[in-house]
Amino acid sequence: MICASLTSPTMDAALADMERASELADIIEVRFDYIHSPAVRPFVERRIKPIIATNRPAREGGNYKGDEENRIALLREAAAAGFDYIDIEMDSVDRLGGAGASKVIVSYHNFEKTPDDLEAIHKQLVAAGADIAKLAVMANDIRDTLRIFDLLRGAGAPTIGLCMGEEGVITRILGPRFGSFLSFGALADGKQSAPGQIPIRDMRELYRVNEINADTKLYGVIANPVAHSMSPAIHNAAFREKGINAVYLPLKVADVRRFVTEFRKLDMQGYSVTIPHKVDVIAVMDEVDQFVKDIGAMNTVVNRGGRLHGYNTDCLGALRAIESVMGGDEPLRGRRVVMLGAGGTSRAIGYGVKARGGKLIILNRTVAKAEKLAGEIGCDWGPMDRLPELTFDVLVNTTSVGMHPNVDETPAPADVLKKGMVVFDAVYNPMETRLLREAAERGCVTVSGVDMFVNQAASQFEMWTDTDAPVEVMRNVVIERLRGH
């Protein structure tokens, strides 16, 4: 069940928000500690979904700073008026003195950490007379969430369990799968009543929390930071489009090796891996693909029967994007490819171009880096100003030149761009860089960084599911997100 936690400051706003939230949530928590001059009866009279009364004191992370007797009196009044649930903190339950026909949620909050004695605290909540026990604790590392999942699995009594904070977000998505009675969400971004809450629309439509069950396959993106990642939107839209029972999670990970090792117990079926973990993660794979060995970086994990296989779909995504506009069986074989840049992306694409039989030249601002990379890949190299003297079929930009906010910059003078050439720019923000605009004006065939981004995600999807990726759906998500920036 999805529960919308309301943080509205006035009665009018709270009643309007309750109505709005009832369209998406299964149950509504009225946070009386946020409401100025609160009254209980209007909520009971206008409720559409079951309602929880909460009047959280500041000592447990709430907004209520007044007299303790008045705080509890409001909860008694809410019970008498017919609220479905009353939330009372463990240290105040004795003072409530019963809640009539309302069910009692006895709650424990810890805004500092996930304590070692979770099970003992849970026992105390149940012993205190909880119809539902609630534990909301802070995750300081994503591995803390495993302890909440263990607690929920073995709870043996109705329990709400969650980790707060960005590292705890997955407990809000997967809690019900492990038996949590409900999962709290915010009415909208910026209206969170606790750190890490997800908007209820995302819980229902993006993560499909209410459809998650024991058979739901788990995937996610390992990153730090992770909040900006477009991958959850892309992959969840793809799973939904294909009717696949799977969910893709944002995983904020500090120590990738310990994370991957300890999360084997959740039997995650696959991961995307991004900054800063693309190199370190290799050490905890059971097997890695040859490209990963060559490139020294990976971005995809596929779980095959408990064994973790590592791949690099940045490379595959770029090749797929470039080759799709060229035609033929081996479109890059024998073609002269100039690649600008000698960083991480250049490395991934360079090995791919070489493996496909392209005649590669790497040009870079820092020439020594071009020389080093070219030495490893086995290709020609030079400074950027060598570009005008070269004859080539494909130009690949892997520098960050032209990227937002420096959108007036370009890594290649327009007069090197000739009709019929293929010009690919790894930069995807903006979607059409100055390089691509000038290339199109001169009759080149252009391939954008969006194509690479979508194709690397599509390659991951296909490895995980053995079905064709819904590429257009995935592309639309990326475009929508980029336009929203």
Nearer to ligand NAP, 90 or 435 (CB): 435
Q: What is the DSSP letter of 243?
A: T
Q: State which residue, 127 or 368, has the beta carbon closest to ligand NAP.
A: 368
Residues forming the site for ligand NAP (CB under 6 A): 314, 341-346, 364-366, 369, 398-401, 403, 426-428, 449, 452-453, 456
Cβ 62 vs Cβ 38: under 8 Å: no
Catalytic residue among 33, 49, 122, 134: 134
**Integer Cα distance of 363 and 366 in angstroms:** 9
Q: How far is the CB of 456 from ligand NAP (least distance, A)?
A: 6
User: Of the two residues 314 and 323, which places its CB atom closer to ligand NAP in the complex?
Assistant: 314
Residue 240 buriedness (CB in 10 A; 0-12 / 13-18 / 19+): middle
Give the Cα separation of 209 and 110 in Å (integer). Answer: 24
134 is catalytic: yes
Residue in 17, 144, 314, 451 annotated catalytic: 314
Residue 431 in contact with residue 403, Cβ under 8 Å? no
Q: Where are the alpha helices (DSSP H) in 378-470?
A: 434-441, 449-465
Residues 355 and 375: their CA atoms lie apart, in Å, by 15
* CB-nearer residue toward ligand NAP: 204 or 320: 320
For the record, the structure tokens of 307 come out as 């064994």
Q: Which is nearer to ligand NAP, 331 or 411 (CB)?
A: 411
DSSP string, 51-92: EEEE--BGGGT-SB-S-HHHHHHHHHHHHHHT-SEEEEEGGG
Residue nearest ligand NAP, CB atom distance: 343
We find the least distance from the C-beta atom of residue 78 to ligand NAP, in angstroms, to be: 52
Q: How far is the CB of 447 from ligand NAP (least distance, A)?
A: 10
Task: Tally DSSP H helices, then E strands, for the chain.
Answer: 17, 20
Q: Of 109, 191, 277, 309, which is the active-site residue?
A: 109
Nearer to ligand NAP, 151 or 295 (CB): 295
Q: Are 360 and 390 in contact (CB under 8 A)?
A: no
**Total residue length of the chain:** 485
- Nearest-approach distance from CB 343 to ligand NAP, in angstroms: 2
- For ligand NAP, the closer CB: 10 or 366: 366
Buried b (16+ CB within 10 A) or exposed e, 306-342: eebbbbbbbbbbbbbbbbeeeeeeebbeebebbbbbb
What CA–CA distance (Å, rounded) separates 430 from 484?
12
CA distance 70 to 37: 12
252 catalytic? Reply is no
Least distance to ligand NAP, CB of residue 135, Å: 40
Q: How far is the CB of 320 from ligand NAP (least distance, A)?
A: 11
Active-site residue, from 191, 235, 278, 359:
278
CB 368 to ligand NAP: min, Å: 9
Kind and range of the H or E element at 381?
Answer: strand 380-383
36 counts as catalytic: no
- Annotation marks residue 109 as catalytic: yes
Q: Where are the beta strands (DSSP E) in 298-417?
A: 300-304, 307-311, 336-340, 359-364, 380-383, 394-397
Which secondary structure element, helix H or strand E, spans residue 136, and what is its range? Answer: strand 132-138
Catalytic residues: 109, 134, 278, 314
